Amino acid sequence: MSEGNSAVSGNTNIDRLTGLPRKQGLYDPSFEHDACGVGFVANVKGRKSHDIVRQGLEILLNLDHRGACGCEANTGDGAGILIQIPDAFLRKAAQACNITLPASGEYGVGMIFLPPNDGDRGRCEAVFEKIVAEEGQRFLGWRSVPVNNGSLGETAKASQPVIRQAFIGRASGLKDDLAFERRLYIIRKRAEKAIRYAENRPSSGEWFYACSVSCRTIVYKGMLMPVQVDQFFPDLQNPEVVSALALVHSRFSTNTFPSWGRSHPYRFIAHNGEINTLRGNVNWMHAREALLASEWLAGDVSKILPTINEDGSDSAMFDNCLELLVLGGRSLAHSMMMMIPEPWSNHEGMSPELKAFYQYHSCLMEPWDGPASVAFTDGIRIGACLDRNGLRPSRFYVTKDDLVVMASEVGVLDIAPERVQTKGRLQPGRMFLIDTEQGRIISDDELKKTVSAALPYQQWLKDKLVKLAELPEPSHVAEPSHETVLQRQQAFGY
């Protein structure tokens, strides 16, 4: 927020870091949920085009009724689009800012919300640049993202951040883009933590928020209505902005407060529904942090703690966990199967290998459960998954010319019937995945068979699982003396 919003910084019921209300009355920020519209369009063969971006925005427009606005009809709860990095476009845009980009894949882009105040923004940028250097990467420069806020309501304008792109060059020692993605993840987490706890941090508003920091994907989003997204971001109208996939979201905040950062998509997901088990999920994630270890993040685990940012909504926290699992070494499908497992324990038709997979991972992580449809992508693969009860529908079309459209409802794109090859709806607990690298749709059965057979989960359960019923009888403990009973009752809360 700008310096003019002194009422925010002076109001004790408003968090001076986020600009959002604190816990008060019937409102508790730990119950942030939303009911929204979500969808994606992708070319199965990975062919990039501006048409994919336009079709993604068209899906967003047709999901407009699934979003919401405040008392101002032109202030939305949030909308956005995630696409692959458009190299040719960004190369020209960076050149106009006197930034020379290395080859495609050799640089990452951060899409970052910054404070409007020059002093606060300069301090945030200095911290970010310093951390990039400390992590062995090359900071290449900043680009101010062109925006047009003429269609925005006053509420959205009042909290509008400055939006800038940070270009980061990849160090020569990183062998592939996934290793670079991990380094960019660490940079983002460190910057968030450093700025949050800095003594000279900005006094209010969304002072630093990274929509995305990646060498694969970029997110354009904000406290917008679907119709405002490409109006606000002229970049998206440029024919050189191309992608093979586009993930979009129109937000409806049910018992939450809209903000620029809470708009979707996040870095890996867009979500329709709610996670009812959130408090337990987050508590368990915090409890496990002392035991976290990864050969892929060796020596860097402490830099990414806390893994879950509790200022976010349930969707944002789900995204925090998913990115940890993926960048910690698991595949995207594997990670989603851990977080949203099928009902497996009494499933008579499920293979022993898949049951063993779910049983093994139930010892590592509890399900993130609730009525939810989650669309997810790592910039190469894109898919969707339904909760075990299938309470949030997801429907898809596959055309004869390799286009896939998935959304929370039908009719989001006009497709002639003769173009349609198959159509259907996602089943409870099932996953729908397109791999643009392989150029094909991978069926739920094949996907789960491959993941569950990758490691000997059945053998691990047989060798390592300890059942309570099989533990030896405990040795007899003498009854405490009568004089100490009251003391013991008080100590244990009786």
Residues 36, 69, 215, 321: which is the catalytic one?
36
What DSSP string runs through 307-323? SS-TTS-HHHHHHHHHH
Under 8 Å between Cβ of 107 and 170? yes
Integer CA distances (angstroms), 121 to 132, 159, 311, 353, 394, in order: 17, 15, 20, 52, 41
Phi, psi angle pair for 357, to nearest 5°: -60, -50
Q: What is the largest CA-CA distance in the chain?
A: 86
Under 8 Å between Cβ of 233 and 147? yes
Reduced to 3 states (helix: H, G, I; strand: E, B; else coil), residue 168 is: strand
Asked if 36 is an active-site residue, the reply is yes
- The residue to which tokens 């368990």 are assigned: 284
Q: Give the whole-angstrom CA distance, residue 374 versus residue 378.
A: 13
**CB-based contacts of 347, cutoff 8 Å, min separation 6:** 355
Q: Give the whole-angstrom CA distance, residue 304 versus residue 316.
A: 16
What are the structure tokens assigned to 440, written together?
Answer: 């094909």
**CB-based contacts of 10, cutoff 8 Å, min separation 6:** none
**CB-based contacts of 478, cutoff 8 Å, min separation 6:** none
Query: What element of type H or E holds 43?
Result: strand 37-43
Alpha carbon 4 to its chain centroid, in Å, reads: 32
Which residues pair with residue 272 across a beta bridge? Answer: 373
Best CA proximity match to 323, nearest among 158, 188, 185: 185
What DSSP string runs through 171-234? PTT--SHHHHHHHHHHHHHHHHHHHHT-TT--SSS---EEEEEESSEEEEEES--GGGHHHH-G
Under 8 Å between Cβ of 99 and 140? yes
Enzyme catalytic residues: 36
